[in-house]
Amino acid sequence: MKDIASVDSIDPLSEVELITFDSKYGKEVYRHSASHIMAHAVKDMFPDAKLAIGPATEEGFYYDFDRNVPFTPDDLEKIEKRMKEIIKKNSPFKRRDITKAEAIKLFERMGEDYKVELLKEIPDDIVSTYEEDGFIDLCRGPHLLKTGKVKAFKLLSIAGAYWRGDEKNRMLQRIYGTAYDNKEDLQAYLNFLEEVKKRDHRKLGKELDLFSISDDIGSGLVLWHPNGAIIRKTIEDFWRNEHLKADYKMLYTPHIAKLNLWQRSGHWDFYRENMYSPMEIEGVAYELKPMNCPFHIDIYKSALRSYRDLPIRYAELGTVYRYERSGVLHGLLRVRGFTQDDAHIFCREDQIENEILNILEFTLFILRTFGFESYDIYLSTRPEKYVGSLDNWEKATNALKHALDKKGLAYQVDPGEGVFYGPKIDIKIKDSLNRSWQCSTIQVDFNLPERFDVTYRGSDGKDHRPIMIHRALMGSLERFFGILIEHYAGAFPLWLSPVHVVVLTIAERHGDYANEIYSELRGADIRTEMNLENEKIGYKIREAALKKIPYLIIIGDKEVEERKITVRKRNGENIRPFTIGEFVGIVKKEADSRQ
């Protein structure tokens, strides 16, 4: 792609910068032009559809339409066909700057109510429209020079979307698409989407019987099935053991607290839209907890603390509840009730940097253990709405920055993305498909210790204010588990697999020996299943493969006679016969290594 234009003519004395598809801006212009062409095609095919907005996105584009009849997959094919015709005509995109009053009259005549609403909120007196082959749209631009510059595109899906993201507004229909400057890259992206679809944790969660979300229970509330629950237990056991080694103290706290606790913490003022309506108990208002921090503060304040006691590190796998709109709920990745791997550290000001260094080391160790070796790090600074003094914000931000620099970790500054009470470090892991996921966070907080009058007795015999560090390594167990499912495509490493080994018999006469093997494996704390059904061995192997069980033990006449076992890996590789003792040693070693 060589031609992108925001004006119809260029002054020959002007400096000209060539923008290509390889740049972020180039992709945005290219895909926004494709979105315009899609809107044109929809209006040609379905004149009753009203236009809302159609921006480019990181991976493609979408356009929202108001239409009483739902779009269907067949409609997408028709729209694509019409888009190809528009592209083939190679009509020029023509920009026109007009007054806002003119634009309002224009779109009122066209019956485009959403465009009129947008126009009335634009503060500028002059606005721009883009036209090609008789189709006009309100747009800032820029666009490509001509429709024919769009070389490869695909419409992907249809979804519902509230106008302006507000569930009180009308539900619109959103058509998603993507576009590339060549067919090869488009096909590569479509192949990637197919792989993403295969790894979808909702699909695999059902196939592997890991979890479910039931309408009878409520949206965004997760039911952990036995297979998922044993993986969760394995994660929790590892997490707790490593925290105890790192000198954290374990806590458990309630699921509700008096409303005035959240008013004092500031959550009620700054976070109310994500909290549920209070409940009344004996005339007192209570609230489901969205965070664990006020509870940990109360435990800290239950005794007089000395400067010698610090740092104090509290950790909890605490379940919290947050109101997420139904439109954003997504399997395990966006839920309403979830368990944070939460911790709060109370320390002196001179201890902040060292504590952050320890947390960074601990975080990377945990993430690597679960198979995540690549990540991006962001330092998020003071947002527009914040509490606390600017001096404290500067101290906290500098402490995070110095720790990152000292650790030699590359990071990007994310301006204004800190939480209301302090700056933070966010770590986004990369999965096996190179997708980024927000998991770990480290937040320095001068605010809550002040709000709750948290103190320690200093060496001078006076009371001093500790600093509070909030941190989570996995973020939430639910979300992290969803990421793990997709990262491994359900084929977990042995230590995380809900079943380590399945024992399969070739014939009924091999059942007694299979039971012996089963008992020995279970006695060695190896998670084992057994299939003695009167089915062909090929069928049993295929069934075990669908469950993604790491090891299959096959028992036949030879194995019974030699008192050995034949072992097959889930990838189809057969390994040499073993005694049961030898095999137990192999499995235990692999599980302990967490590879």
CATH code assigned at 370: 3.30.930.10
Which pLDDT tens digit goes with each residue over 23-64? Answer: 888 999 999 999 999 999 999 999 999 999 999 999 999 999
**Which of 324-328, 354-358, 369-373, 468-472 has the least mean pLDDT?**
324-328
Q: Is residue 80 assigned to a domain? A: yes
Query: What total number of domains does the chain contain?
Result: 3
Q: Is residue 421 assigned to a domain? A: yes
| Residues 83 and 15 occupy one common structural domain | yes
Average pLDDT, the chain: 93
- Per-residue pLDDT at 325: 86
| Residues 43 and 185 occupy one common structural domain | yes
| Residues 408 and 438 occupy one common structural domain | yes
Provide φ and ψ at 149, rounded to 5°.
-75, -15
- Per-residue pLDDT at 7: 43
Tell me the HSE value of 381 on the side-chain side, using a 13 A CA sphere.
12
Return the residue matching tokens 């320390």: 347
Q: 359, exposed or middle or buried, with CB in 10 Å at 0-12, 13-18, 19+?
A: buried
Which pLDDT tens digit goes with each residue over 438-451? Answer: 999 999 988 899 99
- Per-residue pLDDT at 421: 81
d(CA 530, CA 507): 13
Report how far apart, in Å, the C-alpha atoms of 106 and of each of 40, 97, 128, 420 are: 17, 13, 12, 43
The mean pLDDT of 158-165, rounded to a whole number, is: 91
- Per-residue pLDDT at 446: 85
Q: Find all residues with CB under 8 Å of 106, minimum gap 6, and list them.
A: 98, 129, 136
At residue 306, does pLDDT exceed 50?
Answer: yes
- What CATH number does residue 155 fall under? 3.30.980.10
Last residue of a domain, one of 438, 458, 487: 487
d(CA 16, CA 273): 47
Which pLDDT tens digit goes with each residue over 453-493? Answer: 999 999 999 999 999 999 999 999 999 999 999 999 999 99
The mean pLDDT of 383-410, rounded to a whole number, is: 89
Structure tokens at 9: 């003519």
Q: Is residue 272 assigned to a domain? A: no
CB neighbours (10 Å) of residue 401?
18
- Per-residue pLDDT at 13: 52
The mean pLDDT of 368-397, rounded to a whole number, is: 90
The mean pLDDT of 91-97, rounded to a whole number, is: 96
Q: Where are the alpha helices (DSSP H) in 46-112?
A: 73-89, 100-109
d(CA 88, CA 80): 12
| Residues 309 and 336 occupy one common structural domain | yes
Provide φ and ψ at 290, rounded to 5°.
-90, -15
* H or E element in which residue 578 lies: strand 574-578
Q: Residue 212 pairs with which residues in a beta bridge?
A: 223
| Residues 120 and 225 occupy one common structural domain | no
At residue 3, does pLDDT exceed 70?
Answer: no
The mean pLDDT of 339-357, rounded to a whole number, is: 94
| Residues 480 and 558 occupy one common structural domain | no
Q: Find all residues with CB under 8 Å of 576, minimum gap 6, and list them.
A: 567
pLDDT interval class at 19 (50, 70, 90):
confident
pLDDT interval class at 302 (50, 70, 90):
very high
Q: Is residue 278 assigned to a domain? A: no
Please tell me the pTM assigned to this model. Answer: 0.89
Spatial CA neighbour of 547 closest among 230, 233, 209, 226: 209
The 3-state DSSP class for residue 582 equals helix
The mean pLDDT of 397-415, rounded to a whole number, is: 93
The mean pLDDT of 355-383, rounded to a whole number, is: 95
| Residues 405 and 509 occupy one common structural domain | no
Q: Find all residues with CB under 8 Å of 5, minimum gap 6, and list them.
A: 93, 142, 143, 144, 145
d(CA 73, CA 367): 40
The mean pLDDT of 527-540, rounded to a whole number, is: 94
The mean pLDDT of 264-278, rounded to a whole number, is: 89
pLDDT interval class at 5 (50, 70, 90):
very low
pLDDT interval class at 9 (50, 70, 90):
very low
The mean pLDDT of 113-131, rounded to a whole number, is: 95
| Residues 449 and 551 occupy one common structural domain | no
Task: For residue 496, give the amino acid letter.
Answer: L
Q: Is residue 386 assigned to a domain? A: yes
- Per-residue pLDDT at 11: 52
- What CATH number does residue 583 fall under? 3.40.50.800
d(CA 516, CA 58): 56
- Per-residue pLDDT at 24: 85
| Residues 384 and 454 occupy one common structural domain | yes
Q: Find all residues with CB under 8 Å of 115, minimum gap 6, and list them.
A: 51, 107, 138
Provide the domain limits for residue 320.
209-253+292-487
Residue with the larger pLDDT of the pair 140 and 19: 140
Q: Is residue 279 assigned to a domain? A: no
**Which of 7-21, 73-87, 178-192, 455-469 has the least mean pLDDT?**
7-21
| Residues 360 and 461 occupy one common structural domain | yes
Structure tokens at 275: 């909290």
| Residues 542 and 410 occupy one common structural domain | no
**Which of 16-20, 88-92, 222-226, 337-341 has the least mean pLDDT?**
16-20
Q: 555, exposed or middle or buried, with CB in 10 Å at 0-12, 13-18, 19+?
A: buried
At residue 230, does pLDDT exceed 90?
Answer: yes
Max Cα distance, the chain (Å):
92
d(CA 260, CA 323): 19
Q: Is residue 83 assigned to a domain? A: yes
- Per-residue pLDDT at 10: 47
Under a CB-based contact definition with an 8 Å cutoff, are residues 580 and 566 in contact?
A: no
d(CA 482, CA 188): 24
Q: Is residue 276 assigned to a domain? A: no
The mean pLDDT of 150-170, rounded to a whole number, is: 92
Task: For residue 55, give the amino acid letter.
Answer: P
Residues known to be catalytic: 293, 322, 340, 342, 344, 424, 470
d(CA 429, CA 377): 9
| Residues 506 and 460 occupy one common structural domain | no
d(CA 251, CA 293): 11
Task: For residue 399, give the amino acid letter.
Answer: A
pLDDT interval class at 590 (50, 70, 90):
very high
Last residue of a domain, one of 487, 516, 540: 487
d(CA 169, CA 379): 36
Q: Where are the alpha helices (DSSP H) in 408-530?
A: 447-451, 477-488, 511-523
pLDDT interval class at 111 (50, 70, 90):
very high
**% of residues, the chain, pLDDT over 90:** 86
The 3-state DSSP class for residue 455 equals coil
Question: Count of residues for the chain?
Answer: 595
pLDDT interval class at 392 (50, 70, 90):
confident
- Per-residue pLDDT at 1: 40
